[in-house]
Amino acid sequence: MSGMIDRFGRKITYLRISVTDRCDFRCIYCMPEHMTFLPRDEVLTLEELDRLCGAFVRKGVRRLRVTGGEPLVRRNVMWLFERLGERIGNGLNELTLTTNGSQLSRFAPALFAAGVRRVNVSLDTLDHARFRAITRWGDLAKVIAGIDAAQTAGLAIKINMVALRGVNDDEIPRMLEWAHGRGADFTLIETMPLGEVEHRIEQYLPLSLVRSRLAQQYTLTESAYRTGGPARYFQVAETGGRIGFITPLTHNFCETCNRMRVTCTGTLYMCLGQNDSADLRTPLRTSDDSGLLDGVIDEAIGRKPKGHDFIIDRRHREPALSRHMSLTGG
């Protein structure tokens, strides 16, 4: 097994897989309030998702991140986590999850039992009213209870915060101290131009600016720590914790990209920021034999582009990619 190596010599070992486009929140930067979701028959069944992940693990994927939409609102999703968990040690090194935390109280022990050890929880504010304004439908108390339950169950937590100018940028130091105070990692994300939502340009906040502001208040030392994802980490002397920055727009991390994404409809995107894709649902549904699927995956790897072309530019308002993050999976 030689693994999946693209034409730029990058080895693909990390797959993010979206298991649903549905969600119990409507975050302002992610989707409109009256989002239209996909017809159910377009979405892969749990069994198809398991077969698909199996193909990628056989081909060299070592880390699998389950995402969405909100993965924990998919019916019977624990069945999938249990199947995927059985692959840990059999090709797979790590199974992780990105969640909004709303269902963690219920599922944390089962996730741990299935083999999950690290969970990314998206949390953009610690203020109840603001949380409601950002997520439209979410309840902060439930998310905090979910994080508590996850830590009690033994799951390591990373808090991911999307930095939005004029919305939550004043809370960054508080969030950092809160996360580190409870032994969680903390990562800031720039908004990416995915899907049409209002105010994206006004709310875009370059993290280079945030970092220089934080450096006036904290001692930040660049760290060699990597999780296999795109974040660059700094050690914060005052809190003893780590802060990560995911900066697709101000710092392009494509040269070291080791990942690909599959949507809940079985569309493989070789790059989050490009439209080129491969349909894996047809080979999955037309043949039980893995040969057809393997061939389509191999051909797609050969087309993985060198990098993304994200631009958030006041002069060119249109170049957002039309698909929402909830479809591709963040």
Question: In 3D, which of 65, 142, 153 has the Cα closest to residue 113?
Answer: 153
Q: Between residues 122 and 267, which has the closer beta carbon with respect to ligand SAM? A: 122
How far apart CA 210 and CA 245 sit, in angstroms, is 10
Residues in the chain: 330
Applying CB under 6 A, the span of 184-192, 204-212, 223-231, 273-281 interacting with ligand SAM comes to: 184-192
Q: Between residues 57 and 119, which has the closer beta carbon with respect to ligand SF4? A: 119
Q: Between residues 5 and 38, which has the closer beta carbon with respect to ligand SAM? A: 38
Should residue 26 be labelled a site residue for ligand SF4 when binding is judged by CB under 6 A? yes
Whose tokens are 């990628």? That residue is 56
Candidate residues 19, 27, 144, 189; the one interacting with ligand SF4 per rule CB under 6 A: 27
Should residue 191 be labelled a site residue for ligand SAM when binding is judged by CB under 6 A? yes
Shortest reach from residue 295's CB to ligand SF4, in Å: 32
Shortest reach from residue 303's CB to ligand SAM, in Å: 24
Should residue 329 be labelled a site residue for ligand SF4 when binding is judged by CB under 6 A? no
How far apart CA 94 and CA 85 sit, in angstroms, is 9
How far apart CA 319 and CA 202 sit, in angstroms, is 15
* CB of 320 closer than 8 Å to CB of 17: no
Question: In 3D, which of 297, 200, 282 has the Cα closest to residue 249?
Answer: 200
Should residue 68 be labelled a site residue for ligand SF4 when binding is judged by CB under 6 A? yes
Q: Between residues 122 and 267, which has the closer beta carbon with respect to ligand SF4? A: 122
Which tokens sit at 33? Answer: 């309030």
Should residue 23 be labelled a site residue for ligand SAM when binding is judged by CB under 6 A? yes
Should residue 124 be labelled a site residue for ligand SF4 when binding is judged by CB under 6 A? no
Candidate residues 12, 15, 19, 31; the one interacting with ligand SF4 per rule CB under 6 A: 31
What part of residues 102-131 is at the interface with ligand SAM (CB under 6 A)?
A: 122
**Rounded to 5°, angle at Cα 245 from 239 and 247:** 165
Q: Give one DSSP letter per residue of 197-249, joined into a string.
A: -TTHHHHB--HHHHHHHHHHHS-EEE-----SSS-EEEEETTTS-EEEEE-TT
Which tokens sit at 329? Answer: 């999976």
How far apart CA 243 and CA 176 sit, in angstroms, is 8
Applying CB under 6 A, the span of 6-14, 95-103, 136-144, 225-233 interacting with ligand SAM comes to: 95-103
Q: Which residues of the chain form contacts with ligand SF4 (CB under 6 A)?
A: 23, 25-27, 30-31, 68-70, 100, 122, 326
- Residues binding ligand SAM (CB under 6 A): 23, 29-30, 67-68, 70, 98-100, 122, 160, 162, 189, 191-192, 194, 325-326, 330
